[in-house]
C-alpha cells in the first residue's frame, strides 16, 4: 500500500536515542538520533548489519525500553513518557504487536499453541464466550496456513516455519494497527522465508495493518517494503521509497549493501562488484551528518560537502557493470576530483 503522506503518520519516531550504560566509563549508543515515520497500512523496512540497532529500535518503539532521548508518538499519542497511564498502555499492548526473531524462545513451551495465540484475547477480554474465543483462534490459524487441529499441540511439535506462523497468528489475532516483525524470517529456510513473507504481504493487504519489517537481507526487504530505512552503527543513514533507495542509493554504505545482493542472472552476477565499506577508513563521521533531501521522500544523512560529492555520481551504474573493484576504487571513479 502506498503511504498517504498528507495523513498524519501512525508511528512517528523523532530523534530517538537509546543508550545502554554498560559500566561507569562505557555507554553503548545502540540508537543515536534516529527519526522516521510509518503511515497507516504501509511497510517500512529497517535494514542494517548485525549490531546496527534494529532490534533496539523495535523494542524501544514497543516500549520494552525507556528511551534515553527523543520522542515516539503512536496515533498522535506521546508514548515516550517513563510512566504511561493505564489507558495508553492498554491501547499500546493491543494495537502494537511484535513478532520476535526466534519463535522457539518467544513461545511458552508449556502452553498449547491455541492458548499462546489466545493469550492477547484473554488479557484484553476480547470475547463474550469461550466458543467465540475458540472460533477466533481457529480462524487465525487458518489464515496463517495452519490446520485448526494443530492448535492443541505444543510449540516443540512444530517446524521452524510453522512456529513462525504461530508467532504471526499471535500478533494478528489482536487486529493490531502496527506489527513490528524483528527478523521474523531470518532463522528460516530460504524457501520458507518466501512463503512467510508472502503470507505477511497477503495478510497486510487484507487487514491494512502497518508493518515495521526489520531485516538484514535487503533483497527480501525490497520485495515487501513501501519505504526503507538503512541503519548503521545506530544511525539512520538513508531513507526513502524502495524505488528511491534501489534506483538511486546515495550513501556509500547503502551502495555497499546493495552491491552485496547477488544477481539471479549469472551473466550480470559475474560482472557484479561487491563494494567494500569500512566506516573507520571512510572519513565519514555519522555524528556530523544532518538530514539532506535527495528528492521526493528520499533523505540521506551526511554533511553538506558529502552530499555534494555523493549526489554527483552518474557514472556509478556504469561502473557497477563495467569492471570489478572495491569501494575506494569506485569512489575514485565516480567522485569528481576537485576542480573537475
Ligand atoms: N541491553 C543491552 N545492554 C547493552 N548493550 C546492548 C543491549 N541491547 C543491545 N545492546 C547493544 O546495542 C547494539 C545494537 O544491538 P541490537 O540488538 O539492536 O542490534 P541489531 O541490529 O538488532 O543486531 P542483530 O541483527 O544481530 O539482531 C549492539 O552493539 C548491542 O551489543
Ligand atoms: Mg536484532
Q: Residue by residue, what is the 3-state secondary structure of the chain? A: CCCCCCCCCCEEEEEEEEEEEEECCEEEEEEEEEEEEECCCCEEEEECCCCCCHHHHHHHHCCCCCCCEEEEEECCEECCCCCCCHHHHHHHHHHEEEECCCHHHHCCCCCCHHHHHHHHHHHHCCCCCHHHHHHHHHHHHHHCCCCHHHHHCCHHHCCHHHHHHHHHHHHHCCCCCEEEEECCCCCCCHHHHHHHHHHHHHHHHHHCCEEEEEECCHHHHHHHCCEEEEEECCEEEEEEEHHHHHHCCCCHHHHHHHHCCCCCCHHHHHHCCCCCCCHHHHCCCHHHCEEEEEECCEEEEECHHHHHHHCCCCCHHHHHHHCCCCHHHHHHHHCCCCCC
236 pLDDT exceeds 90? yes
275-284 pLDDT per residue, tens: 888 999 989 9
Query: What pLDDT is recorded for position 86?
Result: 87
Question: What number does the ligand 1 atom closest to the CA of 59 have?
Answer: 18
Mean pLDDT of 136-145: 90
Q: With a 6 A CB cut-off, is 48 part of the ligand 1 pocket?
A: yes
Query: What pLDDT is recorded for position 265?
Result: 79
Query: What pLDDT is recorded for position 147?
Result: 93
Mean pLDDT of 116-137: 92
Kindly give the distance from the C-alpha atom of residue 127 to the centroid of ligand 2, in angstroms, as a whole number: 34
Higher pLDDT, 320 or 238: 238
Q: With a 6 A CB cut-off, is 309 part of the ligand 1 pocket?
A: no
CB 197 within 8 A of CB 169: no
Grid cell for residue 217: 537481507
**pTM of this prediction?**
0.87
Kindly give the distance from the C-alpha atom of residue 325 to the centroid of ligand 2, in angstroms, as a whole number: 31
Mean pLDDT of 221-235: 94
Nearest CA to ligand 1 atom 11: 30
264-320 pLDDT per residue, tens: 778 877 877 788 889 999 899 999 999 999 999 999 999 999 998 888 754 444 444
For the purposes of burial, counting CB atoms within 10 Å of the CB of 276, is it exposed (0-12), middle (13-18) or buried (19 or more)?
A: middle
pLDDT cut 70: percent of the chain above it: 90
Q: With a 6 A CB cut-off, is 201 part of the ligand 1 pocket?
A: no
Q: With a 6 A CB cut-off, is 296 part of the ligand 1 pocket?
A: no
Q: With a 6 A CB cut-off, is 187 part of the ligand 1 pocket?
A: no
Q: With a 6 A CB cut-off, is 26 part of the ligand 1 pocket?
A: no
Kindly give the distance from the C-alpha atom of residue 30 to the centroid of ligand 1, in angstroms, as a whole number: 6
Question: What number does the ligand 1 atom closest to the CA of 216 have?
Answer: 25
Q: With a 6 A CB cut-off, is 52 part of the ligand 1 pocket?
A: yes
Kindly give the distance from the C-alpha atom of residue 74 to the centroid of ligand 1, in angstroms, as a whole number: 23
Higher pLDDT, 191 or 152: 152
Q: With a 6 A CB cut-off, is 53 part of the ligand 1 pocket?
A: yes
Q: Which of 56, 100, 216 to mutate to test the pocket of ligand 1 (most atoms within 8 A of CB)?
A: 56
Q: Domain residues of the chain, as ranges?
A: 11-247, 248-340
Give the ligand with the smallest distance to the CA of 60: 1
Q: With a 6 A CB cut-off, is 224 part of the ligand 1 pocket?
A: no
Higher pLDDT, 123 or 194: 123
pLDDT cut 90: percent of the chain above it: 54
Q: With a 6 A CB cut-off, is 105 part of the ligand 1 pocket?
A: no
Task: Please provide the average confidence, as pLDDT, over all residues in the chain.
Answer: 86
Question: Domain 11-247 - what CATH class?
Answer: alpha beta
Amino acid at each position: 500500500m502506498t503511504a498517504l503522506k498528507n495523513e498524519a503518520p501512525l508511528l512517528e519516531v523523532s530523534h530517538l536515542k537509546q543508550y545502554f550504560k554498560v559500566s561507569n566509563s562505557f555507554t553503548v549508543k545502540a540508537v543515536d538520533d534516529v527519526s522516521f515515520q510509518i503511515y497507516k497500512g504501509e511497510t517500512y523496512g529497517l535494514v542494517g548489519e548485525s549490531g546496527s540497532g534494529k532490534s533496539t529500535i523495535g523494542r524501544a518503539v514497543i516500549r520494552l525500553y525507556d528511551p534515553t532521548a527523543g520522542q515516539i508518538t503512536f496515533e498522535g499519542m506521546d508514548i515516550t513518557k517513563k510512566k504511561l497511564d493505564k489507558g495508553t498502555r492498554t491501547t499500546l499492548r493491543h494495537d502494537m504487536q511484535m513478532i520476535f526473531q526466534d519463535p522457539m524462545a518467544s513461545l511458552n513451551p508449556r502452553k498449547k499453541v491455541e492458548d499462546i495465540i489466545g493469550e492477547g484475547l484473554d488479557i484484553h477480554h476480547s470475547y463474550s464466550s469461550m466458543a467465540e474465543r475458540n472460533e477466533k483462534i481457529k480462524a487465525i490459524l487458518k489464515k496463517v496456513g495452519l490446520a485448526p487441529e494443530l492448535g492443541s499441540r505444543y510449540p516443540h511439535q512444530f517446524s521452524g516455519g510453522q512456529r513462525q506462523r504461530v508467532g504471526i497468528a499471535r500478533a494478528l489475532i489482536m487486529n493490531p494497527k502496527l506489527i513490528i516483525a524483528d527478523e521474523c524470517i531470518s532463522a528460516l529456510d530460504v524457501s520458507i522465508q518466501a512463503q512467510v513473507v508472502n503470507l505477511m504481504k497477503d495478510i497486510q493487504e487484507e487487514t491494512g495493518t502497518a508493518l515495521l519489517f526489520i531485516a538484514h537481507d535487503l533483497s527480501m526487504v525490497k520485495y515487501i517494503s513501501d519505504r526503507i530505512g538503512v541503519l548503521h552503527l545506530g544511525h539512520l543513514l538513508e531513507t526513502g521509497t524502495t524505488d528511491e533507495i534501489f534506483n538511486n542509493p546515495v550513501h556509500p554504505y547503502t551502495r555497499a549493501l546493495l552491491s552485496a545482493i547477488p544477481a539471479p542472472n549469472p551473466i550480470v552476477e559475474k560482472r557484479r562488484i561487491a563494494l567494500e565499506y569500512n566506516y573507520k577508513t571512510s572519513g565519514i563521521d555519522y555524528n556530523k551528518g544532518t538530514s539532506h533531501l535527495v528528492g521526493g521522500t528520499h533523505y540521506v544523512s551526511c554533511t553538506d560537502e558529502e552530499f555534494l560529492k555523493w549526489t554527483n555520481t552518474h557514472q556509478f551504474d556504469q561502473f557497477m557493470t563495467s569492471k570489478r573493484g572495491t569501494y575506494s576504487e569506485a569512489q575514485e571513479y565516480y567522485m569528481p576530483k576537485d576542480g573537475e
